[in-house]
């Protein structure tokens, strides 16, 4: 099969660390760790596994973060991956073959595969407390090396666990428990948005919104837009303000239900002053250019993963408010004074799981499919660009530079 493989060598990584400032394209070459080639399809790890043929493989911000060297070398996420690997956890696929323990009716069915590699997928019994509670994104065994029935190496999800493959290749494998068939009424383009929308919806369900009147969503990439959609889809009617960098992102935020979109100044003081004016707050200066805001939003969703955004998201939350960390970042250099001084509730949101929604337990993917069918907007249009795998440098360029390409979601498209 043809696949795009990522593997780091120390010399290439160190070279790209400085060369990318002169030639950004180095990140998508072999020097940066990417290689397009032929390889054998991954074997089934056990009888309860299936092999999937990829239809669409999305390019996620977490993938770009690794390729662009945004994750520091000491990030613990490095411990929850096994390289070399075929990236790609966002997917629409067809079940090509099944193991002896899988119902043969899955053969030929279109699926969206939940990429998480939690306890059940690994064959670890008893499961960890998080998996037992249906919070698979917080599994305690992503780093388990060779434990469980299937003896998988470390990896938090498909695409980051070498032996399983990913959706940047023609085939990958999945445990039967990961398979969710989207409704026939959803197109392939709509179905590809399942995972990013699920991440946004899962985040929207994290805070206590009962007393929240205003939220700020920091970032209007597909993740931030998915939080906007998720809040409106579950019926929350409060004020949603969105920080957007590009005009096309602002347009999408309004279409999905944002009350207002903010184009904040580039300078730190200008950003703080603009937010203070909106919330009726007061900016206080400290030494060395540090700023603090008294007052703020009831809840802030940080959806970029950048240290600057996380620092400002915390500081722009009112005393006693809530911060939800959605973007995949490390937060190095973040000033945590406002957390204890303002008695904030800070919580993370990772992936998807079993949601408590309107008195029932439902997998985030299934809930996304229900809510997509009830949505007046064709969310498949969030998939703005598709490329053949051979054109991966152009695909990654479109995903990295959203302003120039007016991109939201970019994906690889495979022949049927």
Q: Could you read off the pLDDT of 161-181 as tens digits, one per residue? A: 999 999 999 999 999 999 999
How far, CA to CA in Å, does 290 sit from each of 80, 184, 287, 342, 386? Answer: 34, 53, 6, 17, 42
Task: Tally Cβ neighbours within 10 Å of residue 40.
Answer: 8
The pLDDT value given to residue 75: 67
CA distances from 20 to 2, 219, 290, 410 (A): 27, 24, 30, 22
**Secondary structure (H, E, C), 14-70:** HHHHHHCCCCHHHHHCCCCCEEEEECCCCCCCCCCEEEEEEEEEEECHHHHHHHCCC
pLDDT score of 79: 78
Domain 2-195+379-413 of CATH type 3.90.180.10: yes
pLDDT in tens, the chain (416 residues): 999 999 988 899 899 999 999 999 999 999 999 999 999 999 999 999 999 999 999 999 999 999 998 876 666 667 789 999 999 999 999 999 999 999 999 999 999 999 999 999 999 999 999 999 999 999 999 999 999 999 999 999 999 999 999 999 999 999 999 999 999 999 999 999 999 999 999 999 999 999 999 999 999 999 999 999 999 999 999 999 999 999 999 999 999 999 999 999 999 999 999 999 999 999 999 888 899 999 999 999 999 999 999 999 999 999 999 999 999 887 777 888 999 999 999 999 999 999 999 999 999 999 999 999 999 999 999 999 999 999 999 999 999 999 999 999 999 999 98
> Long-range contacts for 207-211 (Cβ within 8 Å, ≥24 apart)?
207/299, 207/322, 207/324, 207/345, 207/347, 208/322, 209/236, 209/238, 209/299, 211/298
| First-to-final CA distance of the chain | 14
> Residue 76 has what pLDDT?
63
Give the integer Cα–Cα distance in Å for 107 and 121: 19
CATH topology of domain 207-348: Rossmann fold (3.40.50)
CA atoms 115, 116, 118, 120: torsion sign: negative
Q: How far apart are CA 2 and CA 340, in angstroms?
A: 51
Tell me if domain 2-195+379-413 and domain 207-348 are identical in fold: no
| Domain locations in the chain as residue ranges | 2-195+379-413, 207-348
The pTM for the full model equals: 0.96
Task: Give pLDDT, residue 131.
Answer: 97
In this predicted structure, what is the pLDDT of residue 72? 66
Q: Is 415 exposed, middle or buried (0-12, 13-18, 19+ CB in 10 A)?
A: exposed
């Amino acid at each position: 099969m043809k696949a795009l493989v990522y593997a780091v060598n120390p010399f290439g990584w160190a070279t790209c660390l400085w060369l990318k400032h002169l030639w950004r394209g180095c990140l998508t070459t072999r020097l940066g760790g990417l290689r397009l080639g032929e390889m054998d399809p991954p074997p089934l790890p056990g009888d309860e596994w299936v092999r999937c043929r990829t239809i669409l493989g999305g390019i996620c911000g977490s993938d770009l973060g690794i390729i662009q060297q945004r994750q520091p070398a000491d990030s613990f996420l490095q411990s929850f991956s096994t390289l070399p690997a075929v990236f790609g956890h966002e997917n629409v696929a067809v079940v090509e073959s099944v193991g002896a323990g899988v119902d043969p009716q899955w053969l030929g069915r279109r699926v969206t595969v939940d990429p998480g590699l939690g306890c059940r997928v690994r064959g670890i019994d008893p499961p960890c407390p998080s998996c037992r509670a249906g919070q698979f994104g917080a599994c305690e065994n992503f780093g388990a090396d060779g434990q469980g029935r299937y003896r998988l190496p470390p990896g938090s999800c498909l695409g980051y666990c070498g032996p399983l493959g990913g959706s940047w290749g023609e085939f990958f494998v999945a445990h039967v428990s990961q398979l969710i068939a989207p409704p026939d009424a959803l197109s392939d383009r709509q179905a590809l948005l399942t995972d990013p929308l699920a991440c946004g919806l899962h985040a929207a369900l994290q805070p206590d919104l009962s007393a929240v009147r205003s939220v700020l969503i920091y970032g209007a990439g597909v993740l931030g837009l998915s939080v906007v959609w998720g809040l409106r889809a579950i019926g929350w009617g409060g004020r949603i303000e969105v920080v957007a960098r590009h005009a096309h992102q602002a347009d999408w935020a309004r279409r999905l239900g944002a009350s207002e979109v903010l184009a904040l100044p580039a300078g730190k003081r200008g950003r703080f002053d603009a937010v203070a004016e909106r919330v009726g707050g007061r900016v206080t200066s400290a030494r060395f250019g540090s700023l603090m805001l008294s007052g703020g939003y009831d809840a802030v969703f940080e959806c970029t993963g950048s240290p600057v955004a996380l620092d400002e998201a915390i500081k722009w939350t009112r005393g006693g408010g809530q911060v939800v960390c959605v973007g995949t970042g490390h937060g190095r250099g973040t000033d945590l004074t406002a957390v204890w001084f303002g008695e904030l509730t800070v919580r993370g949101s990772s992936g998807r799981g079993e949601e408590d929604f309107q008195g029932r337990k439902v997998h985030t993917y299934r809930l996304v499919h229900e809510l997509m069918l009830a949505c007046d907007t064709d969310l498949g249009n969030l998939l703005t660009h598709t490329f053949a795998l051979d054109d991966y440098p152009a695909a990654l360029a479109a995903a990295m530079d959203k302003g120039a390409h007016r991109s939201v979601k970019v994906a690889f498209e495979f022949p049927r």
